[in-house]
Amino acid sequence: MTGQLHPSDPSSVAGYRLLGRIGAGGMGVVYLGRTEAGALAAVKVIQAEYADDDEFLARFRREVSAARRVESEWAVPVLGADTEAERPWMATAYVPGPSLAEAVTRCGPLPARSVRVLGTALARALEAVHAAGLVHRDVKPGNVLLGRDGPRLIDFGIARAADATTALTSAGMVVGTPGFLAPELAAGGGAEPGPAGDVFSLGCLLAYAATGRPPFGTGASDALLYRTVHDEPDLEGLDEELRPLVRECLAKDPELRPAPRELAGRLAGDPAADPLGWLPESVVLLIAERSARMLDLPDVEPTRAEPVAPTARPGRRRLLAVAAGGAAVLAAGGGAAVVWNSLRGAGGPSAAADRWIIGVHADLSGPGRVSGREQERGVRLAVEEYNARPDRLFELAVTTADDGGSPERAVGAASELADEPRLLAVIGPTGDPEAEAALPRYEEAMLPLLAVSPGHPSLAGVALPGGQSRVLLHLRPSDLALSVPIGVHLFEQAGVQRPGLIQDRSTDLESSAVALATSVMARDAGHVLHPRVVPPGVHEAEGFGPVVTEMLEAGIDSFVFAGLPEGAAAVARELAAAGFTGPRIAPQSVLDPLFLEQAGDAAEGWLVHASFVDAAGLPAAEGFSTAYREEHGSGPGYRAAEAYDAAGMVIQHLAAAAADGEMPSRAALAPLLRESTYAGITKEFAFDPDTGDFAGEGRFAHEVRDGRFTFLGPV
């Protein structure tokens, strides 16, 4: 994950354009950089105050030298460096994936096969490190990155030559990470680090990957060092075949540990056989989301016929699993519809009720006002329903904050809501940029934020003082997860062999995710994808005609458009004029009346995948639709029903708490919501309790028929 550049940061270093911060320490900053050719790099730049520190520069030169000496496909290579520059720097290849530590924390322990493949790759990396006459000295989960084409060992900051006679550390200093440090080094007796110490660290890492916990526990450094020297490792839960080999790696006597080459042979994993197939589905999706974000980085120079960047190949079964389900969604909301009909019009409010507030943060006056107003109406209907209950124990109110579709105004809107002491939860904002801007303020107030429409993966990477958000709940699949069914649908169509794809960079919301998912699915299905990337504004300039003509001449038999409704309409007209009748699919940004207006008859037959329903076409939402029509004189628009469900989920928890005699605080409500499931009228809601990510089924298909979008149901 990357954070924004600071005003004091340089814009470029030695030809690398800096795009964001990967991390920072007391002595340097690591930036995400890109060359003019588009290659990404992790650029480590030393702070100016250390550039004249001879001892520190000696360490940095040693780090650069060590990294350059290692030649392994499973270690991150050095792309360039200048240790004598005014601000010394080093660039290594960038791996757009999580560390092993993050993957295990977010997705849980790895299965035995995954551990074997991981261990094989890292053992081969250590073999190369030791062949170069080096010892890594800090093999740990945070120093292993999981990329699209396999794991990578990183960080040679404390590596040293195995035969070095001059130490650059103080006498008696323990160098390495407690809990992953070999006992001969943890004892602090001045033992020299050797290759066997790296093998011990790798054994600790494999135990952690397989069980989700370090083999010598957690806690204070002194306690970890003591247990490493004197106690046996905790290998409970480790696969029976792996346990003896890991135990050999963790032998107290360095002479009894296997060498990396022997270890790789006995693990017998092949990381190159299936670059992503060795990992569980949840980790594959995490890697894919990180890769998708890389497609959203600013262009160096946009081009009109740029091929889509190569992507990894998770197995078809795994991507199908992400898109599977949904058949039970229609049934899941039936109870909610009955509740609505039975409570609507029930007895009046109780005069003794306490008053609490649900906030709606939305774009009510800007470009997203249609969706924002629908979400406000959905929340208000849910609150009216509750207030009509004769047995209610408190009264609810709704207050709104309008950000006008502006990230700058979104911060003020969030503060306005957060400062209301009786407000317990917020539904919104409408757009991704506004949600990203507002989230830190809601985090500061520990105010639960239920995001109905935002779904871009970058929202999960917002830089927060405490790290991962504690208050955010995603009420829909991410753009990447939502894009997977597009490929599933396309490649299950009879006769589809050469799909075409246009990625319109006018939007950074779904286009990169759709491009990534379609590319992965095409490769896995054995099809030849014909992709084109166009810069913003093409439909306003020369149009899509030349690009569409070139794609048709290349023989495409199906088509995916990733972009805005105006661009989709322009492409639809070009395809219709050429007589193209193959499958045509687009993401939910195209589910807009503008597409129908501008495309005209050319829109017929287009299929659009979305995270929201048409409540008028959903039997479970019949009561909601009737009530909405009575209130507003017309049927509900998109996302009104989802916002109604969001409010209903909050109300369910508040009502249960009130029945037990105590309303939850804001801080207590967020984890309660994350740990819950809720059968709404649109779908069943479930979440990852640690991250707030949506874990339910929420993908729906709409098709243009007779000049209007027709709701087809769950995908």
Where residue 256 sits, what CATH number does that domain have? 1.10.510.10
**Mean pLDDT calculated for residue range 350-375:** 85
Residues 297-338 pLDDT 10s = 554 433 333 333 333 333 433 333 333 332 222 223 333 433
Give the model's pLDDT for residue 467: 62
pLDDT greater at residue 467 or residue 151: 151
Q: Is the pLDDT of residue 534 over 50?
A: yes
Q: How many domains does the chain have?
A: 4
Exposure string for 572-602, b = 16+ CB within 10 A, e = fewer: bbbbbeeebebbbbbbbbbbbeebbebbeeb
Q: Is the pLDDT of residue 2 over 80?
A: no
pTM for the full model?
A: 0.56
Q: Which of 435, 430, 416, 417 is nearest to 358 (CA)?
A: 417
Question: Strand 78-82's sheet: what is its strand order?
Answer: 12-13, 16-24, 28-34, 40-46, 89-93, 78-82
Catalytic residue among 9, 138, 432, 508: 138
118 and 222 inside one domain: yes
Alpha-carbon torsion 283, 288, 293, 297, what sign?
positive
Confidence class for position 275, pLDDT limits 50, 70, 90: low
Please identify which residue in the block is written with the tokens 């110490």: 197
47 and 70 inside one domain: yes
428 and 485 inside one domain: no
| Residue ending a domain, choose from 40, 66, 94 | 94
Please identify which residue in the block is written with the tokens 């350059």: 68
Residue 78, SS3? strand
Confidence class for position 541, pLDDT limits 50, 70, 90: low
pLDDT greater at residue 443 or residue 277: 443
**Mean pLDDT calculated for residue range 279-298:** 73
> Which residues constitute the domain of residue 649?
329-476+616-677
Residue 296 annotated as catalytic: no
Q: Is residue 156 part of a domain?
A: yes
Say how many C-beta atoms besides its own lie within 10 A of residue 299's C-beta: 13
Give the model's pLDDT for residue 462: 64
488 and 459 inside one domain: no
Q: Which of 433, 316, 444, 319 is nearest to 368 (CA)?
A: 433
177 and 70 inside one domain: no
463 and 548 inside one domain: no
Mean pLDDT taken over the chain = 82
If you write DSSP's letter for every residue of 539-563 in order, what string do you get? GGTT-SHHHHHHHHHTT--EEEEES
Q: Is residue 302 part of a domain?
A: no
Q: Is the pLDDT of residue 219 over 80?
A: no
Q: Is the pLDDT of residue 553 over 90?
A: yes
Confidence class for position 189, pLDDT limits 50, 70, 90: low
**Mean pLDDT calculated for residue range 650-674:** 90
Q: Is residue 596 part of a domain?
A: yes
Residues 96-117 pLDDT 10s = 888 999 899 888 899 999 999 9
Confidence class for position 652, pLDDT limits 50, 70, 90: very high
25 and 102 inside one domain: no
Q: Is residue 190 part of a domain?
A: yes
Q: What angle do CA 48, 52, 54 make, to 5 degrees?
A: 135
**Mean pLDDT calculated for residue range 549-555:** 93
Q: How many residues are recorded in the chain?
A: 715
486 and 555 inside one domain: yes
127 and 13 inside one domain: no
Q: Which tokens is 610 given?
A: 């979305």
Q: Is residue 690 part of a domain?
A: no
Question: Looking at residue 566, which CATH number applies to its domain?
Answer: 3.40.50.2300
Confidence class for position 252, pLDDT limits 50, 70, 90: very high
C-alpha to C-alpha distance for 607 and 713, rounded to whole angstroms: 12
Q: Is residue 692 part of a domain?
A: no
433 and 520 inside one domain: no
Question: Of the given ranges (5-9, 110-114, 208-212, 570-574), which has the lowest mean pLDDT?
Answer: 5-9
Give, in order, the Cα–Cα distances in Å from 152 to each of 121, 207, 447.
Answer: 8, 18, 38
Q: Is residue 288 part of a domain?
A: no
Residue 134, SS3? strand
Q: Which of 382, 372, 370 is nearest to 627 (CA)?
A: 382
621 and 568 inside one domain: no
Say how many C-beta atoms besides its own lie within 10 A of residue 220's C-beta: 9
Q: Is the pLDDT of residue 125 over 90?
A: yes
Question: Of the given ranges (189-203, 242-256, 573-587), which has the lowest mean pLDDT?
Answer: 189-203
Give, in order, the Cα–Cα distances in Å from 352 to each of 355, 423, 637.
Answer: 10, 19, 35
C-alpha to C-alpha distance for 167 and 545, rounded to whole angstroms: 66
Residues 594-648 pLDDT 10s = 999 999 999 999 999 999 999 998 999 999 999 999 999 999 999 999 999 999 9
334 and 401 inside one domain: yes
